[in-house]
């Protein structure tokens, strides 16, 4: 079977409320979606969800679009590489970084293989790693910084998360918005048994913000996510030895090379694996093997993506070793009801089922046509 054509779309989904982190604010979720068609009518979907501004990573939506449209898609189509393994060197050769762009095609090819096997991405991924995937995953909620910077607003959000059944609550923090909101969230969660984590998205410096971080260390957190800048590998390793609370890596863990350095440094042992941030599921496999040898505790993060991109995150979260609730949330949480192109559902107990079908069988074609436009 060979690739017949590759389509590129821009998908735009409005958020029901602004999502604010230490680096920026989103009101809409814009991303790129590729669809890879083979000659037998199978289709594989992949999403590229970098932000429009480079506050999370150096890569932007415009840059990913340019690379996909003018380099990666023509290169893959010309090479007629129609499998995960044959395409991987084509997507990497001469391309430094640009992981979000590469992830779109990589995950689309994993989904294409799932379609060919009449299964879901989780099944293909687990087969590659010789493990058995879970049938459901635990869901955690990620709460941004309230636009009014109100502790009452944050308390209401945490109370609502508890009522919905989430298995873990995460709040975004930054210098000036850390100690008080963490205490407020902790007060709501006391007695519930639901763990609390905080995510700084690299907003702190050490030792400049030592007082802030040592204060967070007193709040009985499951872990502190990405306290320092992404390139602070040594800094995170040192900080992990300074604090009692485990340090979790997010932006720092951008590929298997970074993971190997973390292992050599005896660095943090809680890893957030975001499929698109690391360049796709092929790279996830490399990181996963290192994590298992190192004894790192894993969970799957999101950007968040649409229901299309979330399928790769769900598949990763179903692997053994993903022991903490992942940031895969129901579609209505981000976009409202009846908007997302794949409607993700969470049970009242905070679990989400792992699909046993490829994305082509899950996506709502009418919604996709209404929320996207074709680029090439």
Give the C-alpha separation, 371 to 11, whole Å: 6
- 68 secondary structure, DSSP code: I
CB 332 within 8 A of CB 373: no
DSSP notation for 234-257 = HHHHHHHHH-SSPEEESTT--SHH
Catalytic residue (choose from 170, 172, 297, 337): 172
Q: What are the respective helix, strand and coil percentages of the chain, to the nearest 5? A: 40, 20, 40
Whether residue 274 lies in the annotated active site: yes
Whether residue 297 lies in the annotated active site: no
- 132 secondary structure, DSSP code: -
Catalytic residue (choose from 170, 274, 297, 337): 274
DSSP notation for 3-58 = EEEEEEEEEEEEEEEEEE-SS-EEEEEEEEEEEEEETTS-EEEEEE---SSTTSSS
Radius of gyration for the chain, computed over Cα atoms and rounded to the nearest angstrom: 20
Contacts of 343-347 with CB under 8 Å at 24 or more apart are: 343/307, 344/307, 344/310, 346/139, 346/164, 346/165, 346/166, 347/165
Catalytic residues: 172, 274
């Amino acid at each position: 079977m060979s690739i017949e054509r590759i389509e590129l779309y821009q998908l735009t989904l409005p958020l029901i409320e602004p999502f604010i982190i230490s680096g920026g604010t989103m009101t809409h979720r814009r991303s790129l979606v590729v669809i890879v068609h083979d000659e037998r009518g199978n289709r594989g979907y992949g999403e590229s969800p970098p932000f429009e501004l480079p506050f999370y990573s150096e890569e932007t939506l415009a840059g990913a679009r340019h690379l996909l449209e003018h380099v990666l898609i023509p290169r893959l189509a010309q090479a007629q590489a129609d499998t995960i393994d044959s395409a991987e060197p084509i997507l990497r050769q001469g391309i430094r970084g640009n992981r979000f762009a590469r992830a779109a095609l990589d995950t689309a090819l994993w989904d294409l293989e799932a379609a060919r096997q009449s299964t879901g991405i989780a099944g293909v991924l687990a087969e590659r790693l010789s493990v058995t995937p879970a049938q459901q995953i635990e869901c955690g909620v990620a709460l941004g910084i309230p636009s009014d910077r109100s502790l009452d607003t944050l308390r209401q959000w945490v109370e609502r998360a508890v009522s919905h059944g989430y298995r873990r609550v995460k709040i975004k923090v930054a210098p000036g918005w850390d100690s008080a909101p963490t205490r407020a969230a902790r007060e709501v969660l006391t007695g519930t048994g639901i763990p609390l984590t905080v995510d700084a998205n690299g907003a702190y410096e050490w030792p400049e913000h030592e007082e802030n971080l040592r204060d967070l260390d007193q709040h009985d957190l499951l872990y502190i996510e990405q306290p320092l800048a992404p390139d602070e590998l040594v800094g995170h390793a040192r900080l992990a030895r300074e604090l009692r609370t485990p340090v979790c890596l997010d932006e720092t863990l951008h590929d298997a090379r970074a993971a190997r350095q973390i292992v050599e440094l005896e660095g943090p042992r809680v890893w957030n694996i975001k499929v698109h941030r690391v360049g796709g599921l092929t790279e996830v496999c490399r990181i996963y093997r290192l994590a298992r040898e190192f004894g790192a505790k894993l969970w799957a993060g999101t950007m968040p993506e649409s229901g299309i991109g979330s399928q790769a995150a769900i598949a990763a979260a179903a692997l053994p070793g993903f022991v903490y609730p992942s940031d895969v949330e129901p579609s209505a949480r981000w976009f409202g009801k009846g908007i997302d192109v794949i409607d993700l559902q969470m049970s009242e107990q905070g679990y989400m089922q792992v699909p046993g079908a490829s994305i082509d069988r899950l996506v709502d074609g009418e919604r996709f046509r209404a929320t996207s436009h074709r680029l090439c």
